[in-house]
Chain A
C-alpha cells in the first residue's frame, strides 16, 4: 500500500508488477514465520511436556499419555517437603549469592587495571586471564582437592568453591575489561584533575558507568554457581548437608525411582528461579552475551 501511494505513476503503469511484488513479500513473511513457529515448538515443547508430566498422578506418570487426567498440584508440595530439598535450596542460594558478590568485588579492580593502566606485562596478564578462562576445571581439580582436603580440611562444605571467588574470576575480569575499554579516557582524567585517587575514580566515576556490565557479570556468575555440578560433586558430595540443588536433583531421581512426575516437578523447581531472574534482567543479560563476542 505504501509503495503504491508513494509511486502512483509507476503503480498505474505496472499494476501487475506491484501485485507480484506484494504477493512475494507475503509469501516471504509466511515462510519466515512458519519456520519461526516450528523452531519455537522445538524450544518450548520440552518445557510443556515436562510441566504436564509434573502434575500427573503417580499411575498416569507411568504411561506415555501426554495430558494429565487430574491436575495433581500436590506433587510440588511433595517435592518441596522431601528431606534435604530445602537445605539444598539454602546452600545453592548461599553459594550463588556469596559467589556473585565476592566475584564482582574482587574482579572489578583487576579489570579496571587491565583496561586503563599502562604497565609492563599488561599483554601477558591479559593472555593469562584468557588462558585461565579457557582452562577446563578438571585439569587442576586433583591438586586443588588435595589442597582443600589435606591442608585446610574444608571438604564436605562449599568453602572450597566460595573462597576462590575472593581472588577474581577470569571470565568476569575479561568481560568487565571489555566493557571498561569503552569508557572514555577523558572522564578518568577529569576525575584525576579534580584530585581523585584511582580508587575514588573507580568508585565514583567508573562504577556508575559500568553498571550494565556489572549487572551482566553478576548474573552470569549467579547462573554459573546455580548450575555448577562439578564443583559441589567434588567438594560437597561427602556431606549431604552441603549439597546444592544441581547435585541433589540427580539423587532425587534415585530416591523416586521411576516417578517421573515428582522428578519433573523437582526439575522445574530448579529451573524456575533462573528463568524468573532472566525475565527481570533480560536486557542486562543479552548485553552481556554480546559483550563476550569479538567486539574489541
Chain B
C-alpha cells in the first residue's frame, strides 16, 4: 500500500478545531438560548401544574390551574375571543391595506419621496405614544375626529369608550402604522418581471386581470409571509390594548389603581394581558403559566407554518 491517505489524527484535530471555533462563535447565543428560552419555557410548563403565589413554596396542583382557567376564570374566553377577533380582522385588513398602499406608492410619479415618507412615518411612532395620540384623536368629548364627523353630519362613535367600537378603533390605529408592510410589498411589487405585464397587455388584459393573474401570483409568497407574521404579532398584542383601555377608562399608571380589565366591558382584553394580570396582580403563578402555555402553543403552530412554507425565509448558502 503505497497510497497514503491524509493522516487521520491530523484530520481529527482539524475537525475538533473547527467544532471549537463554531461553538465559540455561537456561544453568546447558546447561553442565551438556554437561560432565556429553554429554561423559562420548561419552567412555565412546570408552574402550570403547580400552585404558587410567589412567596410560599410551590405545591403540586395537578390539572387544577387548567380547570380554573378554562372553566372558572371569568375572563379567559373573553380574552381568547378578542385575540381571535384581532387576528381575523386586524391581520386581514392590514395585509389588504398594506398591499393597496404598496401598489399606490409604486404608481405615484410626482412627489414619490414625499408620499413614501408620509406613509411610512406613523409606523415609527412608539406604540404607547401612538395609542395616546389616538386616544386623544378619537375621544368622544373633544376629539377632532368626532368633531369633524359631526360637522359632516355623520354618526359619532364612542371609539375606545364603546365596547363595540374599541376593537375597530385599535384596528384603525394598526392601519395607521402600515409602514412595515408597505415597504415589504413595495419591494415585492418592483420585483415582478416587467415582461409579464407587457405580455398581458398585448393579450388585452384589463388592469384587474393584470393584477389578478400577474401581480398576485408573483407576490403570493410575500402575502403569505405577511399573513403569518401578522398572526404571530397579533397573538402578542398587548401594549396598545392595555394603554387604550387605561387612558379611556381614566385610570392611569403608577398609583397602583386597578383598572377594569379590558375596558370597556372587557372588549380590549387579550391573552397576553391575562398573563400579566394573573401573574403580577393576582399572584396566581400557576394559572398565569397555563395561559402562557396556551399562547406558546398557538404561536408555535403558526411559526411552524412559516418555517414550512417559507423555504425562502431560511435560505441557503
Q: A residues near B, CB below 8 A?
A: 29, 32-33, 35-36, 39-40, 42-44, 46-47, 49-50, 53, 61-64, 66, 106-107, 109-110, 112-117, 119, 123, 125-132, 134-147, 164, 166-168, 173, 178, 181, 185, 198, 223, 226-227, 229-230, 233-234, 240, 245-247, 249-254, 260, 263-264, 267-268, 270-271, 274-275, 278, 282, 286, 289-290, 292-296
Contacts and interface: CB of A to CB of B under 8 A. Distances in A.
A136 B236 contact: yes
Contact of B184 (A249, A267, A289): A289
A114 to B, nearest CB: 8
A25 B306 CA distance: 41
Contacts of B101: 39
A254 B254 contact: yes
B104 A142 contact: no
Given A167-B36, A229-B243, A36 B124 contact: no
Interface stretch (B1-9, B84-92, B161-169, B296-304): B296-304
Given A64-B141, A233-B276, 14 more contacts: A32-B109, A46-B134, A109-B25, A119-B18, A139-B295, A142-B47, A146-B285, A181-B317, A227-B127, A229-B127, A250-B253, A252-B253, A282-B117, A296-B313
Nearest to A113: B25
A253 B253 contact: yes
A130 B308 CA distance: 12
Given A167-B36, A278-B124, A136 B255 contact: no
Contact of A135 (B37, B142, B279): B37
13 contacts: A29-B110, A40-B118, A107-B29, A138-B271, A139-B41, A139-B293, A143-B39, A146-B54, A147-B40, A178-B315, A252-B253, A274-B124, A293-B188
A292 B44 contact: no
A275 B235 contact: no
B183 interface: yes
Given A178-B315, A251-B252, A50 B137 contact: yes
A7 B310 CA distance: 47
Nearest to B21: A198
Binding site of B, secondary structure by majority: helix, strand, loop or mixed?
Answer: helix
A264 to B, nearest CB: 6
Contact of A240 (B176, B254, B271): B254
A138 B276 contact: yes
Contact of A290 (B54, B187, B288): B187
B133 A167 contact: no
A270 B252 CA distance: 18
A46 B44 contact: no
A140 B300 contact: no
A162 B206 CA distance: 55
B199 interface: no
Given A44-B118, A130-B306, A142 B44 contact: yes
B28 A167 contact: yes
Contact of B299 (A42, A134, A168): A134
B314 A296 contact: yes
B312 A295 contact: yes
Interface string B89-130: 000000000000100110111110011011111101111111
Nearest to A106: B28
A198 B126 contact: no
Interface residues of B, number: 105
A140 B299 CA distance: 13
B132 interface: yes
A167 B32 contact: yes
B238 interface: yes
B139 to A, nearest CB: 8
A288 B118 CA distance: 18
Q: Name the residue among B18, B109, B128, B238 with the largest chain A CB count within 10 angstroms.
A: B128
Contact of A40 (B54, B115, B280): B115
B317 to A, nearest CB: 5
Given A110-B28, A168-B32, A296 B104 contact: no
Given A246-B128, A264-B136, A294-B225, A136 B299 contact: yes
B317 A143 contact: no
Contact of B238 (A32, A127, A138, A167): A138
A130 B252 contact: no
B104 A39 contact: yes
A42 B176 contact: yes
Nearest to A198: B21
A117 to B, nearest CB: 5
B296 A271 contact: no
B132 A267 contact: yes
Contact of A274 (B125, B144, B296): B125
A130 B316 contact: no
